Amino acid sequence: MSLVCENVPQAIQCDINLDGFVDRSDIRLSGAARNQPAAPGDPRDNDGDGIITVSNARQCVQMCTLPRCAPQP
């Protein structure tokens, strides 16, 4: 027996709410968790240091899908 997975979306770094886009909502979610510990693989801790920091949110701003981190239309 074999298992074939098709059309499995790739996780997008900094897409915290998993809607397929990086926008203001994701940045807000990251900022709201500032100074909290992060589990391994937590999308809010994009540098993997184990703590969600303002630096994580700043790095995610660079990953925004649209200019100025605008939400998707």
Specify the number of domains making up the chain: 1
3 pLDDT band (50/70/90 cuts)?
low
Q: Is residue 5 part of a domain?
A: no
Q: Is residue 8 part of a domain?
A: no
Q: Is residue 64 part of a domain?
A: yes
| pLDDT score, position 12 | 87
Q: Is residue 41 part of a domain?
A: yes
pTM: 0.81
Q: Which domain holds residue 57?
A: 24-69
Give kind and range of the element (H or E) at residue 37.
Answer: strand 36-37
Q: Is residue 34 part of a domain?
A: yes
Q: Is residue 13 part of a domain?
A: no
List pLDDT tens digits, range 11-66: 788 999 999 999 999 999 999 999 999 999 899 999 999 999 999 999 999 999 99
Task: Give me the phi and psi of 52, to 5 degrees please.
Answer: -85, 120
Whether 23 contacts 66, CB under 8 Å = yes
| pLDDT score, position 46 | 93
d(CA 2, CA 31): 42
Alpha-helix runs per DSSP H in 1-73: 24-32, 54-61
